[in-house]
Chains A and B, each alone.
Chain A
Amino acid sequence: MELRGHLDLLLLGALAAVGPAHGYAVITALRERTDDVFDLPEGTVYPALHRLERDGLVVSQWSAEAARRRRVYRLTSVGLAALEVKSAQWEVFATGVQRVVQWAT
Protein backbone atom coordinates (compact mmCIF):
# COMPACT_ATOMS: atom_id res chain seq x y z
CA MET A 1 0.00 0.00 0.00
CA GLU A 2 1.27 3.46 -0.91
CA LEU A 3 2.51 5.37 2.11
CA ARG A 4 3.36 8.70 0.52
CA GLY A 5 2.23 11.50 2.81
CA HIS A 6 1.41 9.26 5.75
CA LEU A 7 4.83 8.00 6.79
CA ASP A 8 5.33 10.77 9.33
CA LEU A 9 2.02 9.95 10.99
CA LEU A 10 2.92 6.26 11.14
CA LEU A 11 6.35 6.93 12.63
CA LEU A 12 5.04 9.36 15.22
CA GLY A 13 2.25 6.92 16.07
CA ALA A 14 4.64 4.00 16.39
CA LEU A 15 6.97 5.97 18.66
CA ALA A 16 4.02 7.08 20.78
CA ALA A 17 2.87 3.47 21.08
CA VAL A 18 6.14 1.65 21.72
CA GLY A 19 8.05 4.45 23.42
CA PRO A 20 11.70 5.27 22.72
CA ALA A 21 12.94 2.93 19.98
CA HIS A 22 15.59 2.60 17.30
CA GLY A 23 14.74 2.58 13.62
CA TYR A 24 14.76 -1.18 13.22
CA ALA A 25 12.38 -1.62 16.16
CA VAL A 26 10.03 1.03 14.76
CA ILE A 27 9.92 -0.72 11.39
CA THR A 28 9.41 -4.12 12.98
CA ALA A 29 6.62 -2.78 15.17
CA LEU A 30 4.91 -1.17 12.16
CA ARG A 31 5.18 -4.38 10.16
CA GLU A 32 3.82 -6.56 12.93
CA ARG A 33 1.06 -4.14 13.91
CA THR A 34 -0.18 -3.82 10.32
CA ASP A 35 0.29 -7.48 9.31
CA ASP A 36 2.65 -6.40 6.52
CA VAL A 37 0.00 -4.17 4.92
CA PHE A 38 2.56 -1.46 4.21
CA ASP A 39 5.24 -2.67 1.84
CA LEU A 40 7.59 0.26 2.33
CA PRO A 41 11.29 0.17 1.48
CA GLU A 42 12.59 0.01 5.04
CA GLY A 43 15.37 2.45 4.28
CA THR A 44 12.96 5.31 3.67
CA VAL A 45 12.16 5.29 7.38
CA TYR A 46 15.59 6.64 8.36
CA PRO A 47 15.57 9.84 6.29
CA ALA A 48 12.04 10.38 7.59
CA LEU A 49 13.24 9.97 11.19
CA HIS A 50 16.09 12.41 10.51
CA ARG A 51 13.61 14.90 9.07
CA LEU A 52 11.33 14.55 12.09
CA GLU A 53 14.32 15.16 14.34
CA ARG A 54 15.39 18.21 12.32
CA ASP A 55 11.85 19.57 12.74
CA GLY A 56 11.93 18.95 16.50
CA LEU A 57 9.25 16.27 16.54
CA VAL A 58 11.62 13.59 17.85
CA VAL A 59 14.99 13.55 19.57
CA SER A 60 17.58 10.81 19.41
CA GLN A 61 20.68 9.55 21.12
CA TRP A 62 23.07 6.63 20.82
CA SER A 63 22.38 3.62 22.96
CA ALA A 64 25.03 1.00 23.66
CA GLU A 65 22.71 -1.50 25.32
CA ALA A 66 22.76 -3.82 22.31
CA ALA A 67 25.83 -5.44 20.77
CA ARG A 68 25.91 -2.60 18.24
CA ARG A 69 25.47 1.12 18.80
CA ARG A 70 21.91 2.10 18.04
CA ARG A 71 20.25 5.45 17.60
CA VAL A 72 17.17 5.56 19.80
CA TYR A 73 14.38 7.99 18.91
CA ARG A 74 11.94 9.52 21.35
CA LEU A 75 8.86 11.64 20.73
CA THR A 76 9.01 15.24 21.95
CA SER A 77 6.08 17.29 23.22
CA VAL A 78 6.04 19.04 19.85
CA GLY A 79 5.96 15.63 18.18
CA LEU A 80 3.09 14.54 20.39
CA ALA A 81 1.12 17.64 19.45
CA ALA A 82 1.90 17.05 15.77
CA LEU A 83 0.70 13.46 16.15
CA GLU A 84 -2.64 14.69 17.50
CA VAL A 85 -3.06 17.13 14.61
CA LYS A 86 -2.10 14.57 11.98
CA SER A 87 -4.33 11.94 13.56
CA ALA A 88 -7.28 14.32 13.43
CA GLN A 89 -6.54 15.11 9.78
CA TRP A 90 -6.30 11.41 9.03
CA GLU A 91 -9.65 10.75 10.71
CA VAL A 92 -11.31 13.36 8.51
CA PHE A 93 -9.62 11.98 5.39
CA ALA A 94 -10.39 8.33 6.19
CA THR A 95 -13.99 9.11 7.09
CA GLY A 96 -14.49 10.92 3.80
CA VAL A 97 -13.01 8.06 1.79
CA GLN A 98 -15.03 5.51 3.73
CA ARG A 99 -18.27 7.36 3.03
CA VAL A 100 -17.55 7.40 -0.70
CA VAL A 101 -16.62 3.71 -0.72
CA GLN A 102 -19.80 2.78 1.18
CA TRP A 103 -21.84 4.97 -1.13
CA ALA A 104 -20.40 3.22 -4.19
CA THR A 105 -20.96 -0.34 -2.95
Chain B
Amino acid sequence: MGYVIDTYLEELFDRLGGTGAAGRRALAEVEDHLRSAADEAIARGVEPIEAERTAVDRFGPSSKIAGGFQAVHNGPVALLRQAFVGCWLVAALAFVAIGLSGAIAYAFGRWFGIAFVPGDAIGSTYTLDRCADFIRFHPEAVTCAAAAAAHHFDEVVVTEPPPVCSVPAPWWRCGWHADTRRWEAPGGRRPKAP
Protein backbone atom coordinates (compact mmCIF):
# COMPACT_ATOMS: atom_id res chain seq x y z
CA MET B 1 0.00 0.00 0.00
CA GLY B 2 1.02 3.57 -0.55
CA TYR B 3 1.51 6.52 1.71
CA VAL B 4 -1.54 8.65 0.85
CA ILE B 5 -3.85 7.19 3.48
CA ASP B 6 -1.10 7.17 6.11
CA THR B 7 -0.34 10.83 5.43
CA TYR B 8 -4.02 11.71 5.67
CA LEU B 9 -4.40 9.82 8.94
CA GLU B 10 -1.39 11.61 10.40
CA GLU B 11 -2.90 14.97 9.45
CA LEU B 12 -6.20 13.99 10.99
CA PHE B 13 -4.46 12.77 14.15
CA ASP B 14 -2.74 16.14 14.52
CA ARG B 15 -6.05 17.93 14.17
CA LEU B 16 -7.96 15.73 16.62
CA GLY B 17 -6.11 17.06 19.67
CA GLY B 18 -8.33 17.32 22.73
CA THR B 19 -10.84 14.67 21.70
CA GLY B 20 -9.19 11.88 23.74
CA ALA B 21 -10.67 8.39 23.42
CA ALA B 22 -13.36 9.59 21.01
CA GLY B 23 -10.63 10.92 18.73
CA ARG B 24 -8.78 7.59 18.80
CA ARG B 25 -12.00 5.81 17.92
CA ALA B 26 -12.67 8.28 15.12
CA LEU B 27 -9.19 7.71 13.75
CA ALA B 28 -9.74 3.94 13.71
CA GLU B 29 -13.07 4.34 11.94
CA VAL B 30 -11.59 6.66 9.35
CA GLU B 31 -8.72 4.27 8.68
CA ASP B 32 -11.13 1.38 8.25
CA HIS B 33 -13.21 3.45 5.84
CA LEU B 34 -10.29 4.64 3.73
CA ARG B 35 -8.64 1.23 3.52
CA SER B 36 -11.97 -0.44 2.66
CA ALA B 37 -12.58 2.08 -0.11
CA ALA B 38 -9.05 1.68 -1.44
CA ASP B 39 -9.26 -2.14 -1.29
CA GLU B 40 -12.50 -2.08 -3.29
CA ALA B 41 -10.96 0.15 -5.94
CA ILE B 42 -7.85 -2.03 -6.16
CA ALA B 43 -10.09 -5.07 -6.59
CA ARG B 44 -11.63 -3.27 -9.59
CA GLY B 45 -8.15 -2.88 -11.10
CA VAL B 46 -7.26 0.64 -9.97
CA GLU B 47 -3.58 1.30 -9.21
CA PRO B 48 -3.01 1.25 -5.41
CA ILE B 49 -1.77 4.85 -5.21
CA GLU B 50 -4.65 6.10 -7.31
CA ALA B 51 -7.08 4.05 -5.23
CA GLU B 52 -5.81 5.63 -2.01
CA ARG B 53 -5.86 9.11 -3.54
CA THR B 54 -9.46 8.70 -4.68
CA ALA B 55 -10.52 7.35 -1.27
CA VAL B 56 -8.95 10.33 0.48
CA ASP B 57 -10.42 12.84 -1.99
CA ARG B 58 -13.90 11.41 -1.55
CA PHE B 59 -13.53 11.46 2.21
CA GLY B 60 -12.98 15.21 2.39
CA PRO B 61 -10.30 17.53 3.81
CA SER B 62 -8.92 16.47 7.18
CA SER B 63 -9.49 19.96 8.59
CA LYS B 64 -13.21 19.75 7.87
CA ILE B 65 -13.57 16.21 9.20
CA ALA B 66 -11.57 16.97 12.34
CA GLY B 67 -13.65 20.11 12.88
CA GLY B 68 -16.76 17.94 12.80
CA PHE B 69 -15.37 15.58 15.43
CA GLN B 70 -14.13 18.49 17.56
CA ALA B 71 -17.61 20.04 17.50
CA VAL B 72 -19.13 16.80 18.77
CA HIS B 73 -16.58 15.85 21.40
CA ASN B 74 -15.02 19.05 22.72
CA GLY B 75 -17.15 19.78 25.77
CA PRO B 76 -16.59 22.39 28.49
CA VAL B 77 -13.84 20.36 30.17
CA ALA B 78 -11.80 20.21 26.97
CA LEU B 79 -12.30 23.92 26.39
CA LEU B 80 -11.17 24.66 29.95
CA ARG B 81 -8.08 22.51 29.41
CA GLN B 82 -7.27 24.36 26.20
CA ALA B 83 -7.69 27.69 28.00
CA PHE B 84 -5.36 26.46 30.74
CA VAL B 85 -2.78 25.33 28.22
CA GLY B 86 -3.01 28.71 26.49
CA CYS B 87 -2.45 30.61 29.76
CA TRP B 88 0.39 28.26 30.63
CA LEU B 89 2.05 28.94 27.29
CA VAL B 90 1.82 32.72 27.74
CA ALA B 91 3.30 32.45 31.25
CA ALA B 92 6.04 30.11 30.03
CA LEU B 93 6.96 32.59 27.28
CA ALA B 94 7.04 35.36 29.91
CA PHE B 95 9.47 33.31 32.00
CA VAL B 96 11.62 32.72 28.94
CA ALA B 97 11.57 36.45 28.13
CA ILE B 98 12.59 37.33 31.69
CA GLY B 99 15.37 34.77 31.57
CA LEU B 100 16.62 35.95 28.19
CA SER B 101 16.62 39.61 29.20
CA GLY B 102 18.62 38.70 32.30
CA ALA B 103 21.11 36.69 30.24
CA ILE B 104 21.53 39.52 27.74
CA ALA B 105 21.95 42.06 30.53
CA TYR B 106 24.50 39.80 32.20
CA ALA B 107 26.45 39.45 28.93
CA PHE B 108 26.41 43.22 28.36
CA GLY B 109 27.57 43.73 31.93
CA ARG B 110 30.46 41.34 31.35
CA TRP B 111 31.43 42.88 28.02
CA PHE B 112 30.91 46.58 28.70
CA GLY B 113 30.95 46.80 32.50
CA ILE B 114 28.01 46.80 34.91
CA ALA B 115 27.54 50.57 34.59
CA PHE B 116 26.38 49.91 31.01
CA VAL B 117 23.35 47.94 32.17
CA PRO B 118 21.50 49.95 34.87
CA GLY B 119 18.94 52.47 33.77
CA ASP B 120 19.85 55.57 35.80
CA ALA B 121 20.78 58.51 33.62
CA ILE B 122 24.37 59.73 33.65
CA GLY B 123 24.76 62.37 36.35
CA SER B 124 21.93 61.04 38.54
CA THR B 125 22.37 61.87 42.20
CA TYR B 126 21.20 59.94 45.23
CA THR B 127 20.21 60.96 48.73
CA LEU B 128 22.52 60.01 51.57
CA ASP B 129 20.04 57.41 52.85
CA ARG B 130 19.72 55.85 49.40
CA CYS B 131 23.48 55.83 49.04
CA ALA B 132 23.79 54.08 52.38
CA ASP B 133 21.39 51.40 51.13
CA PHE B 134 23.50 50.84 48.01
CA ILE B 135 26.69 50.63 50.03
CA ARG B 136 25.05 48.17 52.41
CA PHE B 137 24.29 45.87 49.47
CA HIS B 138 27.71 46.41 47.89
CA PRO B 139 30.28 47.34 50.54
CA GLU B 140 33.08 46.62 48.06
CA ALA B 141 32.05 49.61 45.90
CA VAL B 142 34.34 52.61 46.23
CA THR B 143 31.77 55.24 45.27
CA CYS B 144 28.03 55.71 45.69
CA ALA B 145 27.59 55.64 41.89
CA ALA B 146 29.48 52.33 41.67
CA ALA B 147 27.35 50.83 44.47
CA ALA B 148 24.18 52.07 42.72
CA ALA B 149 25.31 50.57 39.42
CA ALA B 150 26.09 47.23 41.09
CA HIS B 151 22.73 47.24 42.87
CA HIS B 152 20.83 48.05 39.66
CA PHE B 153 22.79 45.37 37.84
CA ASP B 154 21.65 42.88 40.49
CA GLU B 155 18.08 43.94 39.92
CA VAL B 156 18.29 43.41 36.16
CA VAL B 157 20.36 40.22 36.21
CA VAL B 158 18.82 37.90 38.74
CA THR B 159 21.75 36.68 40.78
CA GLU B 160 19.96 34.02 42.79
CA PRO B 161 19.08 31.31 40.26
CA PRO B 162 17.55 28.62 42.52
CA PRO B 163 14.30 30.44 43.45
CA VAL B 164 13.88 31.78 39.94
CA CYS B 165 14.47 28.41 38.26
CA SER B 166 12.23 26.62 40.72
CA VAL B 167 9.14 28.46 39.48
CA PRO B 168 9.38 27.78 35.73
CA ALA B 169 10.37 24.13 36.09
CA PRO B 170 7.18 22.82 37.77
CA TRP B 171 5.19 25.30 35.72
CA TRP B 172 6.59 23.83 32.52
CA ARG B 173 6.06 20.30 33.72
CA CYS B 174 2.46 20.98 34.76
CA GLY B 175 1.59 22.57 31.43
CA TRP B 176 3.36 19.79 29.55
CA HIS B 177 1.15 17.18 31.13
CA ALA B 178 -2.00 19.14 30.33
CA ASP B 179 -0.88 19.67 26.77
CA THR B 180 0.27 16.13 26.03
CA ARG B 181 -3.17 14.83 26.99
CA ARG B 182 -4.16 16.23 23.61
CA TRP B 183 -1.60 14.10 21.83
CA GLU B 184 -2.27 10.67 23.21
CA ALA B 185 -2.11 8.38 20.21
CA PRO B 186 -3.35 4.89 19.47
CA GLY B 187 -0.99 2.46 21.13
CA GLY B 188 -0.03 4.96 23.81
CA ARG B 189 2.38 6.91 21.56
CA ARG B 190 3.12 10.19 23.21
CA PRO B 191 5.82 12.87 22.92
CA LYS B 192 8.82 12.54 25.24
CA ALA B 193 8.59 14.66 28.37
CA PRO B 194 11.31 17.26 28.76
Q: How would residues 18 to 35 of chain A score, 1 for a CB under 8 Å from any chain B CB and 0 otherwise?
A: 000011100100000000
B60, A24: Cβ atoms closer than 8 Å: no
Q: Is the CB of B28 within 8 A of A46?
A: no
Residues of B in contact, count (CB < 8 Å): 23
Return the chain A residue nearest B39 by Cβ.
A67
A86 to chain B, nearest CB (A): 19
Q: Complex Cα distance A70/B28, Å?
A: 8
Across-interface contacts of A46 in B (CB, < 8 A): 26, 29-30, 33, 65, 68-69
- Chain B residues contacting A43 (CB-CB under 8 Å) are 30, 33, 59-60, 64-65, 68
Cβ 8 A contact of B25, one of A27, A42, A71? A71
Is the CB–CB distance between A42 and B33 below 8 Å? yes
Given contacts A24-B37, A42-B58, A42-B59, contact A47 B32 (CB under 8 A): no
Known: A41-B64, A42-B60, A43-B59. A54 touches B33 (CB 8 A): no
Give chain B's interface secondary structure class: helix
| Distance, CA A33 to CA B82, complexed state (A) | 42
Contact of B35 with A by CB under 8 A: yes
Distance between B93 CB and nearest chain A CB, rounded to angstroms: 34
Interface membership of A44, Cβ < 8 A:
yes
CA distance in complex: A48, B71 (Å): 10
**Given A43-B60, A43-B64 in contact, is the A71-B29 Cβ separation under 8 Å?**
yes
Partner of B32, one of A24, A41, A50: A24
CB pair A50 B72 closer than 8 Å: yes
B131 in the interface, Cβ–Cβ < 8 Å? no
Contact of B59 among A41, A48, A68, A69 (CB under 8 A): A41
What residues of chain B lie closer than 8 Å to A47, measured between beta carbons? Answer: 26, 65, 68-69, 71-72
Among A22, A43, A46, max chain B CB count under 10 A is at A43
Residues of A contacting B69 in the complex (Cβ-Cβ under 8 angstroms): 46-47, 50
Contact B32 A22 (CB under 8 A): yes
User: Given known contacts A24-B37, A50-B72, what 20 new A-B pairs fall within 8 Å (CB)?
Assistant: A24-B33, A27-B33, A41-B59, A41-B61, A42-B60, A43-B64, A43-B65, A44-B60, A44-B64, A46-B30, A46-B68, A47-B26, A47-B65, A47-B71, A50-B69, A54-B72, A68-B32, A69-B28, A71-B25, A71-B29
A-B contact pairs, 28 of them (CB 8 A): A22-B29, A22-B32, A24-B32, A24-B33, A41-B59, A41-B64, A42-B33, A42-B37, A42-B58, A42-B59, A42-B60, A43-B33, A43-B60, A46-B26, A46-B29, A46-B33, A46-B65, A47-B26, A47-B65, A47-B69, A47-B71, A50-B22, A51-B71, A54-B72, A68-B32, A69-B28, A70-B29, A71-B28
Query: Top 10 nearest A-B pairs by Cβ distance?
Result: A41-B60, A47-B68, A43-B65, A43-B60, A43-B59, A50-B72, A51-B72, A24-B33, A68-B32, A24-B36
